[in-house]
Amino acid sequence: MDAPGWSASARSPGDSWRRVVPSPEPQRIVEQDSITHLLENRAVVICGGGGGAPFVDDGAGLLQGVEAVVDKDFTAALLAVTVQADRLLVLTDVPAVMAHFGTPQAVPLPRLDLDDLARMRFPAGSMGPKIAACHRFVAATGRRAAIGSLSEATAVLGGSAGTIITAGRTRRTDSRPGPRPGPGNELVQPVPTNATVTPLTRPAD
């Protein structure tokens, strides 16, 4: 069910449709200098909402808008690395990364390190991008990241709630991607989401 030039995907349970567009990773943040200046002057900055508006360089030094939805978790990681943040918090609607999610044996994982993450695979479209973004921040900075519930933000920051991700025994000194979202993870199962996500695409609305 595609309009000319559009791709569409059925919503679950399939009674309606929505447009899907590419979901690229951010390469840089156009307003980064302004964001950094505000932070240096002790302003509280709200930026990168929804991943930010996507633009590309047209080759002549001008920016041109494109139809895409930038991945918000990777935008947060890029911002955190660039401004040299002390901590990256990814706040969501679950209390922590869960082992055996969706089963009677489900338990939160309070602490993971980069070596732990290297042995895991996380589904795309749910916990996967959050884990990969945290991996990217920790690998690039050596500082901690955390995933937890928005309602417990203070406790997540303090390390008494959520899942804390540390460099552990292995520290990489670049910001290359960490664990790739994908199938086959028997430890951490997908977090339910209402979003319709197909590979490399995301709803435009």
Q: Which pLDDT score is estimated for 17?
A: 79
CA angle in degrees (0–180, nearest 5) for 177-171-182: 30
pLDDT score of 26:
87
Owner of token pair 């520290």: 171
The reply to whether the predicted model has a pTM over 0.95 is no
Residue segments in the chain with a per-residue pLDDT below the cut of 70: 1-4, 11-15, 123-125, 169-205
User: Which residues on adjacent β-strands are paired with residue 146?
Assistant: 89, 164
pLDDT digits (tens, 9 = 90+) for 67-103: 888 888 999 999 999 999 999 999 999 899 988 777 7
Residue 68, token pair as written in the block: 């895409």
pLDDT tens, 51-69? 788 888 888 888 888 888 8
Token digits of residue 51: 């991943």
**Beta bridge mates, 95:** none
Q: What is the pLDDT of residue 200?
A: 32
Q: Check residue 204 and give its pLDDT.
A: 44
Residue located via tokens 């999610």: 101
